[in-house]
Amino acid sequence: MSGNSFAYSEQAGGGEATELGQEATSTVSPSGAFGLFSSDLKKNEDLKQMLESNKDSAKLDAMKRIVGMIAKGKNASELFPAVVKNVASKNIEIKKLVYVYLVRYAEEQQDLALLSISTFQRALKDPNQLIRASALRVLSSIRVPIIVPIMMLAIKEASADLSPYVRKNAAHAIQKLYSLDPEQKEMLIEVIEKLLKDKSTLVAGSVVMAFEEVCPDRIDLIHKNYRKLCNLLVDVEEWGQVVIIHMLTRYARTQFVSPWKEDDGLEDNEKNFYESDDEQKEKTDQKKKPYAMDPDHRLLIRNTKPLLQSRNAAVVMAVAQLYWHISPKSEVGIISKSLVRLLRSNREVQYIVLQNIATMSIQRKGMFEPYLKSFYVRSTDPTMIKILKLEILTNLANEANISTLLREFQTYVKSQDKQFAAATIQTIGRCATNISEVTDTCLSGLVCLLSNRDEIVVAESVVVIKKLLQMQPAQHGEIIKHMAKLLDSITVPVARASILWLIGENCERVPKIAPDVLRKMAKSFTNEDDLVKLQILNLGAKLYLTNSKQTKLLTQYILNLGKYDQNYDIRDRTRFIRQLIVPNEKSGALSKYAKKIFLAQKPAPLLESPFKDRDHFQLGTLSHTLNTKAIGYLELSNWPEVAPDPSVRNVEVIELAKEWTPAGKAKKENPAKKFYSDSEEEEDSSDSSSDSESESGSASGEQDEEGDSSEDSSEDSSSERRSDSESVSEVGDKRTAKRNSKSKGKSDSEDEEKENEKSKTSDSSSTDSSSVEESSSDSESESESESESESKKVTMEKEKKTKEDRNLTKDVSLLDLDDFNPVSTPVVLPTPAVSPSLIADLEGLNLSTSSSVISVNTPVFVPVKTHVLLHRMSGRGLAAHYFFPRQPCIFGDKMVSIQITLNNTTDRKIENIHIEGKKLPMGMQMHVFNPIESLEPEGSITVSMGIDFCDSTQTASFQLCTKDDCFNVNIQPPVGELLLPVAMSEKDFKKEQGMLTGMNETSTVIIAAPQNFTPSVILQKVVNIANVGVVPSGQDNIYRFAAKTVHSGSLMLVTVELKEGSTAQLIINTERTVIGSVLLRELKPVLSQG
């Protein structure tokens, strides 16, 4: 038994199983019960020994076997320690396989992966682009919040890499980081904006996917890149094409006017369009339509058309939905042939394509009429495909082809697939409803089916005939009689119920048959299905009202049976009908109108396609397939009435050059050129220009992100290899130069250090730009004025100081985790690669909030807003409201003071008001008010209580009780009320802020009108949200506020720094990062709004 349990545990792959197995093998011989288990263990031991071998060939063989195990679905997590040791191997092949393993298991073995984090960071600077990309993938697979700053830095660095493959992986990592920490959204948007400018086809799809995941509403980021994305689309990989097309569909619906307005007159002539060839159709289209399409709108439609020939079904489907949603109606027809081609794919693809064709065919029958035979059902089709094809055939049915379709349907009814046969009968009913010429033919055909041997076919026919007879009941008395005779043979409840309903509705037309049917049903009432019983009751009621002489006793008998039925629906219906039709002294006014109620004219049912209500979902999406809004679905907006300004999509080289020009620097200006002109020479010029910019941008580690367009724009592979080899040599040169400069000593001031780095980057920029001097006028002008630009770049550096202070230097390995040992005093670390900004981060890890000059102050402002604790309706006349007086609590230093006002809104005295039944989260404490003996009518009283919320916004639940009742109530504090204002000087504020950087700092950018950034408005808004004190500031554009948390006394420092224009930066520094993040989220919308 123990042997079995061990073996089972090993299969589960747990760590405990391994230890148990090792103990077992040491005590039991291999020939015993543990023979198989120990051999498995031995095999893993063999792999461990191979991984620890000195020979690369043995390690490589072991890694291949391990990756093979993973591919087969076997658990290889126990080998993690042995594998991770080889992450620093010099053999490229081993290193690649190690990274493949780590990407798979890094999330499961987070602690062990964290130990190797410094190795991953070093690998980010490896000369091999595959290693750099793999290191970034592993880093983003470690789902631990503490390494968010490292990931952020690695993504920024990788986004400026010379290799498009590394930049592609940076785009993938953006989504992982966003899911781990949504607070990084603003910084990630900056990286996305930078990567969107990338002209490499390898990067385009990945960065658009990141855009859709992180900030799909930021359409402004797409404007400048719209034409580039349209032109690159054909060369992007297939899954990238799908993402880009869906995004551009949404973009087009917001930026262009509807092409359908002037198109309605062409609807009648659809068939002519589809019969003529494409060129003729476009010419005719242009002649007939006065509508002038935006050139950018036409560019998108034209550039996606070739993708209809793609081998990937998802790409074809994406282009089809784009044409359906944004192209003129006269041009949509070209997608039909491509969609029909996809029906030769596997059944899963067929299912999705047919669902979309079903939706399209409701509105545009003409598109798919020429391909009618492609939707005929094959015997090998699965049921789901057959039913979808039936749906499309029904939508395409018209007077011309209905006879062909009905012959086809006759064959389908004989199918062995009963579900499909039943669906065919429903289809015949819908055709009969939609095309009046064949209604009688369909009805007679369905009546013939009533004699079919198959019960399901007969039952479905009855249900459909019932719906058809509702449309013209007077003409079909014979059919009703025929169906009444079938009651003895049909057993399917829905069919029996349908026949009874028909007889009940037409009881005056069949006066002899209806009472006899009721007699038969009364006999079998107790054995019938609930659905049939309800219809028997209805039939009895209708006959009682129209033919009471014959059916009065019979109906009363049925009502007595229903009165004691097991089903409560039937008992309720029985009581309702008895009171309504059998008059007595208790009967209400309704009994007079019983006949009108039961025998009212019923509207005929509308037989509609189940796909009719799906057209509001974007085609090709999961929401359309499920017919319900899925998580992450982005709705298509309506066309704008007036097109937004098209000039926002214009991209000029001159604008890019201006961004790179430091203040006061002379620069030669070229005439304005579009990036994507049709001229070959202009394209070559802009390509070489961006090439030189990318080289100089990557050489200078601290250039502004917006100006840095570090992409590999060359499309042929030879130039890509050349640029890659150059990048490797440049990286090596830069490292050497920076190490030499930093070894001069750290006593130099920070400005001098930045100036040295700037001068070095200027030199390397000069070298790079001179190498492509002939091909780029921008590089020419930059290299000409390089000698005089060093001092001016320092000026530019100071102007951008705030932004660069936030972004750590690229050479720095941010967290080697060894650096995070607490230190008692600020330490200058011995390693030469550490910058002053990192030293400040490390100093901040040893926090001390106690300071002699920091003291609790009186609140600046006390809001009068009250919160409802107990509504008078819920409290049976007792109402309670509470508010936060922002005063130190008298019941305890760690408690938040709360004042509760109790009101008696009744006309009687309320006695013994008190609190009991406290349900508090762990650690939370509450000091309640003393019981109130009585509260007079219309009286009011205010009491105080204290709650220790433990520096969290968790809810404190308790019961507010009176003498007679108890009411469940709860108090949830706004984050701003968990603070006490403190008084401190500006110098102390800066000192404390310097110790609370890195992960203790959160910031965001605020955009608002200038009038909202006046001192009084900012002060009023901040103190209204949070109980903070004002810190005097010597700068007009910076406002500082300070407080400490009530429970732990941790400092909360708030800074609002006004930038140029209508933006400001909100920074919060605190040890309590969760509270800081929540406060940031609450302050941002308040400061943004007017």
**pLDDT, tens digit (0-9, with 9 covering 90-100), for 382-413:** 999 999 999 999 999 888 888 889 889 888 88
For residues 449 and 455, what is the distance between their CA atoms, to the nearest angstrom?
10
For residues 320 and 242, what is the distance between their CA atoms, to the nearest angstrom?
11
Banded pLDDT at 640 (limits 50, 70, 90): confident
Selected residue with higher pLDDT from 842 and 458 = 458
For residues 781 and 758, what is the distance between their CA atoms, to the nearest angstrom?
19
Q: Is pLDDT of 793 > 50?
A: no
| Partners of residue 956 on adjacent β-strands | 971
Please classify residue 551 by burial: count the beta carbons closer than 10 Å to its beta carbon, then call 0-12 exposed, 13-18 middle and 19+ buried.
buried
% the chain with pLDDT above 70: 73
pLDDT mean across residues, the chain: 76
Mean pLDDT is highest, among 238-242, 603-607, 701-705, 905-909, for 238-242
For residues 633 and 617, what is the distance between their CA atoms, to the nearest angstrom?
9
Q: What is the pLDDT of residue 1055?
A: 93
Q: Is pLDDT of 838 > 60?
A: no
Q: What is the SS3 string spanning 481-515?
A: HHHHHHHHCCCCHHHHHHHHHHHHHCCCCCCCHHH
Mean pLDDT is highest, among 344-353, 635-644, 838-847, for 344-353
Alpha carbon dihedral 305, 306, 311, 313, in 10-degree steps, equals: -10
Q: In this predicted model, what pLDDT tens digit does every residue of 338-383 receive, in sequence order? A: 999 999 999 999 999 999 999 999 888 888 999 999 999 998 999 9
Q: What is the pLDDT of residue 1090?
A: 59
Which tokens in the block code for residue 1021?
């808004």
Q: What is the pLDDT of residue 51?
A: 83
> Are 581 and 541 a contacting pair, CB within 8 Å?
yes
Mean pLDDT score, 824-842:
42
Banded pLDDT at 978 (limits 50, 70, 90): very high
Selected residue with higher pLDDT from 305 and 54 = 305
Of 936, 946, 960, residue with least CA distance to 898: 946
Q: In this predicted model, what pLDDT tens digit does every residue of 987-1046 receive, in sequence order? A: 889 988 888 887 788 889 888 877 778 888 888 889 998 999 999 888 888 999 999 999
| Partners of residue 878 on adjacent β-strands | 904
Q: What is the pLDDT of residue 695?
A: 41
For residues 1057 and 100, what is the distance between their CA atoms, to the nearest angstrom?
45
Banded pLDDT at 335 (limits 50, 70, 90): very high
Q: Is pLDDT of 309 > 60?
A: yes
Strand 956-961 and strand 910-919: the pairing is antiparallel
Selected residue with higher pLDDT from 713 and 1007 = 1007
Burial state string for 195-227 with b = 16 or more CB within 10 A and e = fewer than 16: bbbbbbbbbbbbbbbbbbbbbeeebeebbbbbb
Return the amino acid letter for 429. G
Q: Which sign does the torsion angle of CA 419, 420, 425, 431 carry?
A: positive
% the chain with pLDDT above 90: 23
Quick one: DSSP state of residue 888?
B
Mean pLDDT score, 781-797:
42
Q: What is the pLDDT of residue 738?
A: 44
Mean pLDDT score, 715-732:
42
Mean pLDDT score, 553-574:
88
Q: What is the pLDDT of residue 155?
A: 93
Q: What are phi and psi of 982, to 5 degrees?
A: -125, 150
Q: How far is CA 291 from CA 287, 300, 1017, in A?
A: 10, 17, 49
Q: Is pLDDT of 734 > 50?
A: no
For the residues of 1021-1062, what is the DSSP string, one character each?
HHHHHS--EEEP-SSTTEEEEEEEETTT--EEEEEEEE-STT
Q: In this predicted model, what pLDDT tens digit does every residue of 462-474 receive, in sequence order? A: 888 888 877 766 5
3-class DSSP state of 567: coil
Ranges 96-100, 650-654, 770-774: which has the least confidence: 770-774
Q: How far is CA 128 from CA 200, 830, 924, in A?
A: 19, 29, 54
Banded pLDDT at 124 (limits 50, 70, 90): confident
Residue bearing tokens 């592993």: 138
For residues 717 and 694, what is the distance between their CA atoms, to the nearest angstrom?
17
Q: What is the pLDDT of residue 465?
A: 82
Q: Is pLDDT of 968 > 50?
A: yes
Banded pLDDT at 70 (limits 50, 70, 90): confident
Q: Is pLDDT of 678 > 60?
A: no
Q: What is the pLDDT of residue 271?
A: 44
Helix locations, 263-374, DSSP H: 270-275, 278-288, 295-304, 313-326, 334-341, 347-363, 365-368
Ranges 79-93, 108-122, 807-821: which has the least confidence: 807-821
3-class DSSP state of 90: coil
Q: What is the pLDDT of residue 752?
A: 43
Q: What are phi and psi of 374, to 5 degrees?
A: -70, -15
Banded pLDDT at 698 (limits 50, 70, 90): very low
Banded pLDDT at 971 (limits 50, 70, 90): very high
Q: What is the SS3 string spanning 636-674?
A: CCCCCCCCCCHHHHCCEHHHHHHHHCCCCCCCCCCCCCE
Strands lying side by side in the sheet with 940-948: 867-870, 878-883, 896-904, 940-948, 925-927
Mean pLDDT score, 276-296:
60
Q: Is pLDDT of 832 > 80?
A: no
Residue 561's H or E segment, with its range, is helix 548-563
Q: Is pLDDT of 918 > 80?
A: yes
